[in-house]
Structure 1
Amino acid sequence: MCMSLRIEPKEMAEVLIKVRKMSLAQEMSVKLGKSLIMSGDLHPSDIAPVLATNKYGNMAVFPMAWGFTHQATTKPLANCRVETADTKGLWIDSWYRRRCVIPASWYYEWGYPVYEDDSRSMIEHRNAKKVKYAIQTEGSNITYIAGLYRYEEHCDMQVPMFTVLTKEAAGTVRDIHDRMHIVLGKDSLQDWIRPDGDPSAIVEKALSNMVFETAVEYHRSPNEFITA
């Protein structure tokens, strides 16, 4: 899986301004040495705005770092296969108790190129040079990606860390890749993050009506970001 996503600052300005003002975000930035820009292209280990339940059981936004850590690898574990989320020790507790949503403008994937009049064989199709695509929910400016989170001890603080859930590709995404992020409809967000919700049932209702196009390479500039 391609492990990057995009947050367009103008579309999520209110969320970005709110989360950057949080004391938790400020502490994470200082102790982890991470930027609080949280817009543009984001990658594993970056801090991102994430939706989860607050102490009152309501949906709220929090700063979280992307990727669980594990002693077996130095790389952040940025995604989790939903097929094993309820059985593997690394994920199981979060699967049942700590689910979250990552709002993004779109996510990226390296996939097989698709042509309108494609007469290639499946072998030729799969052997073609991959192309970077931007994938998002059809008819929406925000793509709500299902995730899991947990707290880890880093730099003398409890840091909230999230990972993205993936599943077998469905709908149009199957043309370019065999896996896809689990994307939720807006009406499923509250049920997904509730600790007493049924994650398996909600995954069954995940969206498959994605649209994609060849990704544009962006270059960060000071004018791209919303500041508070």
Structure 2
Amino acid sequence: MCGRFGRTTTADWFAGTIGAAVSAWLGSDGAGYNRAPGTWQAIAIRASAGAERVTRLGPAKWGFISPRAPDATFAPINARLETADTKPLFAQAFANKRCVIPADWWYEWQTTEAGTKQPWLIRPADGEPFFLAGLWSSAKQLDHGQTAASQATFAVVTTQAQADIATIHPRQPVVLDTKGACKWLDGQHGPSELKQLASTSSNRAYRSQPISTAVNNVRNDESSLVEPLSENR
């Protein structure tokens, strides 16, 4: 799964790699070491602009709300790659409303023999910034008094974890490089091609390190969160 991630590379940098225009609504884009569900994050989508399709990077709330939902009581933060194209909640978004989320790393929690949860920071071994594959929706039916009413919401797509990090958690987010992100946003690919793209792009080497449990508190958002407890795996 993916329930927390971090990004210090600017949204402008990510936008430049995929040829996206940055929305004025994105506002200040400072470093975020502990980006959590329920918060507003930058996502890139392909949208219509007259007769053209353009890529835009703007804010969306993490937690997928169906366009038919009357309230936000059910807002899953993840969608499984294996079933996203057929599950009623996500099928339309998988077909027509895919997005990518800029990131530099993500966190997973490993259950120890003592039954405690040890947080780990995980990133591609090459250390390069990347995109998380996602699905988005517009919360059209929410009353205007509710947060995210008529705004974009999203879920991160997850898949089976690669062998080098599977001992930490059996699931991981779908990780895309720039080329993969552009293909994920492109409307020319069917479900089988997209699943193959997601699997191929995520099949890479990763580097992981145990970190302080301070990350458990979403109010903690400072650079000390990414300091390792011991040598990198």
Report the alpha carbon displacement of residue 206 of structure 1 after superposing the two structures with TM: 2.4
Q: State whether structure 2 residue 138 is matched by structure 1 residue 151.
A: yes
Report the alpha carbon displacement of residue 45 of structure 1 after superposing the two structures with TM: 1.4
CA separation in 1, counterparts of 2:135 and 2:206?
22
Q: State whether structure 2 residue 181 is matched by structure 1 residue 189.
A: yes
Q: Normalization by structure 1: what TM-score?
A: 0.74
**Residues 49, 38 of structure 1: alpha-carbon distance in 2 compared, 3 angstrom cutoff:** farther
Q: State whether structure 2 residue 10 is matched by structure 1 residue 12.
A: yes
CA separation in 2, counterparts of 1:59 and 1:73?
27
**Counterpart in 2 of 1:93?**
92
Q: State whether structure 2 residue 202 is matched by structure 1 residue 207.
A: yes
Tell me the amino acid that sits aligned with residue 152 of structure 1: A
Tell me the amino acid that sits aligned with residue 109 of structure 2: W
After TM superposition, the structure 1 = structure 2 runs for residues 51-70 of structure 1, keeping only pairs within 5 Å, are 51-55=44-48, 56-69=52-65
Aligned counterpart in structure 2 of residue 41 of structure 1, from 15, 34, 40: 34
CA separation in 1, counterparts of 2:74 and 2:109?
19
CA separation in 2, counterparts of 1:149 and 1:59?
14
What RMSD in Å do the two structures reach over aligned CA positions?
3.0
Answer yes or no: is the 8 Å Cα contact 1:38–1:48 preserved in 2: no
Tell me the amino acid that sits aligned with residue 86 of structure 1: D
Answer yes or no: is the 8 Å Cα contact 2:65–2:154 preserved in 1: no
CA separation in 2, counterparts of 1:15 and 1:60?
13
Aligned residues: 198
Provide the identity percentage.
23
**Residues 83, 13 of structure 1: alpha-carbon distance in 2 compared, 3 angstrom cutoff:** closer
Answer yes or no: is the 8 Å Cα contact 1:167–1:182 preserved in 2: yes
Task: Please identify which structure carries the higher helix content.
Answer: 1
Report the alpha carbon displacement of residue 168 of structure 1 after superposing the two structures with TM: 1.4
Unpaired runs of at least 5, structure 1: 27-34, 114-123, 222-228
CA separation in 2, counterparts of 1:184 and 1:213?
21
Unpaired runs of at least 5, structure 2: 223-233
CA separation in 2, counterparts of 1:16 and 1:172?
27
